[in-house]
Amino acid sequence: MSNIIGSKNVTDDDDLKYVVICQKGDTEAFAVLVERHQKKMFNIAFRMIGDYDEACDVTQEAFVAAYKSIKKFRAEAKFSTWLYR
């Protein structure tokens, strides 16, 4: 794990750093973003769906889609806004 990724307690300002690192191919940077946002993503999915297992699946699918599209992120909005959309 690279030095910049060592901390689990990142701030909103750090998201962009992790996105840029991830865009360069570092999957560990995306793992930090997942850890940072997974609880809120799950909560949103669960409120929308109302089923725990389906909310888990939707959350996982959302992160897979985000990972596949991470190179398209242009920082026109905060990463969390882009992700939750």
Distance CA 27, CA 17 (A): 13
Residues with Cβ within 8 Å of 52's Cβ and at least 6 positions away in sequence, in order, are 46
- Cα-based distances in Å from 71 to 26, 36, 57, 65: 12, 19, 23, 11
pTM of the model: 0.80
Q: What is the mean pLDDT of each run of 10 residues along the chain (85 residues)?
A: 46 85 95 95 96 97 96 91 89
